[in-house]
Structure 1
Amino acid sequence: MGVVNVTPDSFSDGGRWFEPAAAVEHGLALLGQGADLLDVGGESTRPGAERPTEREELDRVIPVVAALAAQGARISIDTMRSRVAAESLDAGATLINDVSGGLADPQMATMAARSGLPFVAMHWRAHSAHMHREARYADVVTEVVAELLERVEALVEAGVAREAIILDPGFGFSKDAGHNWELLAGLDQVTALPHPVLVGTSRKRFLGRLGAAVGSTVGPAPSGEPTPSGALSPPTPPAERDAATAATSLLAAQAGAWAVRVHDVPGTRDALAVWAHVHAAGGRA
């Protein structure tokens, strides 16, 4: 799943694809690089982001969805608003990706049920401006699994077909770096659920401080002395996290994920191709 951010304040590209023509060009480039589907979104969900109005979100995504669908692209609409989802489906989208899992808009589940199309329900506790307050867990993997299953039952009760539901553990949403690493380590508990699983780690903040993540030194300081892992160095910029993203995508594939949502398609496809070749060779042994 290739990411097409039609926002002026995306954490990963800083609004590079905000203009519709640029977003369409970028989407077509991702398809050419091997993306199987495109996730088009008009609302930034970076930590602390303020929400656009519904009208702003519609104006951002509908022209892009329509243009890409006209080129034969498979489109996922990344939105928490039922009206944006409905109009995007009318414009040619074939999958709804709601990072709130239907919690942000009480009409979303009903609309998704009427559409009959696949619906991605992500683990979510609060909007971006407040989600850091909700990063509290006794056991993040167990709690994420339990809360995802609660959403499944609520969606089914609202009329969404159980087989249409795709789950996303929500890396980076109401989770600190330690929670994200624990969730990645326990991802097989999420993929063991009877639903396809979408994994979205791409360029996220916890991948920007890899040295500190393992509790070891993070390399020499300018003086030549090692920098203690407890002393955080500045995180790498988002665009420099693609190698780490490819590694997490490979781990997601090993755990049985249905799809990975990424900004850099070629690097991820290469990593997954390595895994596929090794997996196939092992099967023939």
Structure 2
Amino acid sequence: MISAEIARRGHSARVYLRPTGFVDAPFGYDGQTLRLAGGLLWFAMVEAIAADENGRFASALVPVERIEDFVESLPEPQSSSACTQLRRLTSPRAALTLGQRTVRLDQPQVMGILNVTPDSFSEGGGLESDPDTAAARAVEMSESGAAIIDIGGESTRPGARTVWEGDEIARVKPVLEKLHHAGLALSIDTRKGQVMEAALAAGAHLINDVAALTWDDEALAVAARSTAPVVLMHHQGNPATMQQDPRYRDALLDVYDWLEARIDSVVAAGVARERLLIDPGIGFGKNLRHNLQILNGLSLFHGLGLPIVLGASRKRTIGALSGEAPVEQRLGGSIALALKGAAQGVQLLRVHDVFETVQAVRVWRGMRDEALTPG
């Protein structure tokens, strides 16, 4: 039995709870389902995973009606940890207040990517010197249904080189200033404290950091001084080298552990926990199998109790599974991964193709609404 094996291994063992066994609706299943993170999904089972420094050593599928008994059967400190995870799995996620916009997180929302870089996935370059066109593109994405516009002035794709802060600010600041009074929810995608500070002063409302405030000490200090929400993304290595033989004991659990530790560090440095969001970092120091393991297990991250951001749009994983299709031919795969995220309760889907993804999510939402309408 999993509890006995955990007790035998002592404090070196950890327990993880992953919601699974999703049902169309909770009607008629009193006590047999739980609502995931206050959203549109209900789950009937929990996969309990036990692991130590060598990796997983046991797992069990526990029905929701027996999950409290299971948690109480665990030794300490695992029982307390599992109890905290269970509470976080079911706690609603508060809406984000971003300027004039309120972004509800009880349903999947789309974050549109606006790259003002010479080597953009989506724009093909050029917007870094054309803030008027970039601002118009942001408005277009908002009109297509993007809840948040994520503006970045530095490419962090595999092999990308670091951009000087002055150049990055020169790319993003004029766009933010033009959008300041447009009533949009604006995010700044950067690793650098100076860029964060300049962007927030120019009108950004949210910090999206692929380095999780580890790139420089100033980034963490800026985040602590501000009141902006912050996305902490998992990564291994830096963009220039991150795809050179990345390794994990267990990709899903290692990313979970890393994010948990990073959250604790950031909170200790003065950033309120309720301001944080998390991103498992698809493609950032992960090979194809690592990415797929994380995507299959996304619901685990709800145990951290924070909103989840998923950025899988046009990633190499899609190309690798579709005959090495180039980035401009990865729309179908991008939508497939966005819907995979929605089906596991992800709150924010960061995408290049806003109109198409919003349409897919609206169809998914329509099916959920029908299922949740009493008969």
Q: 1:166 offset after TM fit, Å?
A: 0.3
Determine the C-alpha separation between the residues in 2 that align with 1:66 and 1:248. 33
Determine the C-alpha separation between the residues in 1 that align with 2:237 and 2:260. 17
- Structure 1 segment 267-278 matched on structure 2, within 5 A: 267-278=356-367
Q: 1:12 offset after TM fit, Å?
A: 4.0
What is the aligned length?
263
2:312–2:350 contact (8 Å) kept in structure 1:
yes
Secondary structure at 2:291's aligned position in 1? helix
Determine the C-alpha separation between the residues in 2 that align with 1:250 and 1:240. 18
Secondary structure at 2:232's aligned position in 1? strand
Q: Does 1:57 align with 2:168?
A: yes
Match of 1:250 among 335, 339, 345: 339
Determine the C-alpha separation between the residues in 2 that align with 1:152 and 1:27. 30
1:139 matched to which residue of 2? 250
Q: 1:271 offset after TM fit, Å?
A: 1.2
- Structure 1 segment 75-86 matched on structure 2, within 5 A: 75-86=186-197
Q: 1:120 offset after TM fit, Å?
A: 0.4
Q: Does 1:46 align with 2:135?
A: no
Q: 1:172 offset after TM fit, Å?
A: 0.6
1:195 matched to which residue of 2? 306
Code of the aligned partner of 1:259: L
Q: 1:88 offset after TM fit, Å?
A: 0.6
1:109 matched to which residue of 2? 220
Code of the aligned partner of 2:309: L
Q: Does 1:241 align with 2:303?
A: no
2:289 matched to which residue of 1? 178
Normalised to the residue count of structure 1, the TM-score between the two structures is 0.89
Q: 1:11 offset after TM fit, Å?
A: 3.6
Gaps (5+ residues) in structure 2? Answer: 1-110
Determine the C-alpha separation between the residues in 1 that align with 2:249 and 2:125. 37
Secondary structure at 1:112's aligned position in 2? helix
Determine the C-alpha separation between the residues in 1 that align with 2:357 and 2:123. 18
Code of the aligned partner of 2:363: V
Secondary structure at 1:191's aligned position in 2? helix
Determine the C-alpha separation between the residues in 2 that align with 1:242 and 1:176. 20
Q: Deviations over 1:103-123 (max 9, x none)?
A: 111121221111121000000
Identity rate, percent:
41
Determine the C-alpha separation between the residues in 1 that align with 2:250 and 2:237. 19
Code of the aligned partner of 1:239: E
Q: Deviations over 1:177-225 (max 9, x none)?
A: 11111110000111332000100001111111324xxxxxxxxxxxxxx
2:117–2:155 contact (8 Å) kept in structure 1:
yes
Secondary structure at 1:44's aligned position in 2? coil
Match of 1:34 among 140, 145, 165: 145
- Taking a change above 3 Å as real, the CA distance of residues 66 and 93 of structure 1, as seen in their structure-2 partners, is same
Determine the C-alpha separation between the residues in 2 that align with 1:132 and 1:236. 19
Gaps (5+ residues) in structure 1? Answer: 212-232
Q: Does 1:7 align with 2:96?
A: no
2:237 matched to which residue of 1? 126
Q: Tell which deviates more after alignment, 193-202 or 244-253.
A: 244-253
Normalised to the residue count of structure 2, the TM-score between the two structures is 0.68
Code of the aligned partner of 2:343: Q
Determine the C-alpha separation between the residues in 2 that align with 1:251 and 1:133. 27
Q: Tell which deviates more after alignment, 269-278 or 180-189.
A: 269-278
1:204 matched to which residue of 2? 315
1:11–1:238 contact (8 Å) kept in structure 2:
yes
Q: 1:7 offset after TM fit, Å?
A: 0.4
Code of the aligned partner of 1:257: V
Determine the C-alpha separation between the residues in 2 that align with 1:150 and 1:134. 23
Secondary structure at 1:15's aligned position in 2? coil
Q: Tell which deviates more after alignment, 41-50 or 132-141.
A: 132-141
1:21 matched to which residue of 2? 132
2:132–2:178 contact (8 Å) kept in structure 1:
no
Determine the C-alpha separation between the residues in 1 that align with 2:247 and 2:151. 30
Secondary structure at 1:84's aligned position in 2? helix
Determine the C-alpha separation between the residues in 1 that align with 2:126 and 2:218. 32
Code of the aligned partner of 2:342: A
- Taking a change above 3 Å as real, the CA distance of residues 93 and 168 of structure 1, as seen in their structure-2 partners, is same
Q: Does 1:92 align with 2:181?
A: no
Alpha-carbon RMSD:
1.3
